[in-house]
Amino acid sequence: MEKKLISIVIPAYREEKNIPLIYIKLKEILWTIKEKYDYEIIFVNDWSPDDTWEEIEKIALKDKKVKGINLSRNFGKEIALSAWVEAASWEAVITLDWDWQHPVEKIPDFIKEWEKWYDVVYNKRPNTDWASFFKKLSSKIFYKIFNMMSDFKLESWTTDYRLLDRKVVNYFVQFWEKNRLYRWLTDWMWFNKKALIFDAKKRLDWWKWTYSYQWLYKLAVDSLTSFSLFPLKLVWYLWSFITFLSIIVMLIIITDKLLNNTFGFSNLSIIVVMNTFLMWIVLISLGFIAHYIGKIHEEVLWRPMYIVRDKINFKK
């Protein structure tokens, strides 16, 4: 009986010291499933400035089950996660990070749930003590707003550590938007999902890696505008609200002036207040529209999502 093939996909950036360590650990874990499954390990190097690609090449030359994709420049983690779609020989794909936060010993658990006919098996972290108060609060607010605005729901504190069945990947490869979010797209497809709840390990950093608040802000904005038109609709809602508020204010002012002018409204103050409200609506409207137009511009250029500079152990 032919074994099913499991692909382990790891995007890598500045991980020359982590690559050999995670490879050894992966081999130990994958050895336990070799009776039922064959496997391949795919490292996607997102144009690291160190010797990450050289380390991948060294391992791949010794082990043909290890494959490498070297991108021509740094396209970002979300694009790097999409670059493995060219390797279409698997029955399931497991994606995980390079920094040891995703415990590879959980891989057999992902496969067990997949054997129960779950199409997507993903990790959810119950413990968020590692996150700052501001990050917890901002994350909570983001998910609340997103789930109110979008036509599908996102779970908080999920990770990129997930298994996708081949049928899910076959649809995933049809998505070609460049402003993509791997987790969000797989959640959008929905399918039959199962969460594995366990904490992340301590990050193994040889260099300081942090997600800046600027990056997190961009992630939040891209998420909201990629999966919802609500920000554009918000302009209409704001205009309607301000129009209603303006009518109420004008009625109050006219009534006050006709009676005894108790509040002492001047004509100039009324104009200033109304202009301030209207200018605020115009500016926020232009901001939303410019963001959507920018995203449209990037997509209609139809440039390739990524460019592969080198590949190793892939069939020609």
Contact 176, 305 (CB under 8 A): yes
> Which residue, among 288, 283, 275, has the nearest Cα to 228 in the 3D structure?
288
Q: Does 88 share its domain with 199?
A: yes
How far apart (Å, rounded) are the C-alpha atoms in residues 117 and 114?
A: 5
Residues 182 and 288 in one domain: no
Which token pair is 196?
């594995």
12-25 confidence digits (pLDDT tens): 888 888 899 899 99
Whether residues 12 and 130 share a domain: the answer is: yes
DSSP state of 211: -
> What is d(CA 251, CA 273) in angstroms, rounded to the nearest whole number?
15
Shared-domain flag, residues 196 and 140: yes
Sheet holding 308-312, edge to edge: 193-197, 120-124, 158-165, 92-95, 4-12, 37-45, 66-71, 308-312
pLDDT bucket at 37, cuts 50 / 70 / 90: very high
Q: 165 and 276 share a domain? A: no
- Are residue 153 and residue 290 in the same domain, yes or no? no
The CB density around residue 64, as the number of other CB atoms within 10 Å, is 10
* 79-88, 134-143, 268-277, 303-312, range with greatest mean pLDDT: 303-312
Give tens-digit pLDDT for 158-186. 888 999 999 998 888 888 777 777 887 88
Task: Share the mean pLDDT of the chain.
Answer: 80
Mean pLDDT of 124-132: 72
Tell whether 223 is covered by a domain.
Answer: no
Tell me whether residue 261 is in a domain.
yes
Mean pLDDT check: name the lowest of 188-197, 206-215, 265-274: 206-215
In a domain, 224, yes or no: no
Burial label for 162, CB within 10 Å (0-12, 13-18, 19+), is buried
Q: Please report the pLDDT score of residue 269 as a whole number.
A: 63
Asked whether residue 31 carries a pLDDT value surpassing 70, the answer given is yes
Which is more confidently placed, 20 or 288?
20
Residues 179 and 291 in one domain: no
* pLDDT for position 212: 55
The CATH number of the domain holding residue 198 is 3.90.550.10
Whether 190 and 268 map to the same domain: the answer is no
Domain count, the chain: 2
- Flag whether pLDDT at 291 surpasses 90: no
**Calpha distance 179→225 (Å, rounded):** 10
Q: Which domain holds residue 113?
A: 4-212+305-312
Residues 172 and 282 in one domain: no
Same domain as 158, residue 99 = yes
β-strand pairing of 158-165 with 120-124: antiparallel
pLDDT at 208 over 60: no
Which pTM was predicted? 0.74
* 178 and 42 within one domain: yes
Query: Are 50 and 89 members of one domain?
Result: yes
Q: Which DSSP letter does residue 208 get?
A: -
Structural domain includes residue 222: no
pLDDT value, residue 139: 75
| 124, HSE (Cβ side, Cα atoms, 13 Å) | 12
Residue 218 is assigned to a structural domain of this protein? no
Q: How far apart are CA 76 and CA 80, in angstroms?
A: 6
Pick 220 or 31 by higher pLDDT. Answer: 31
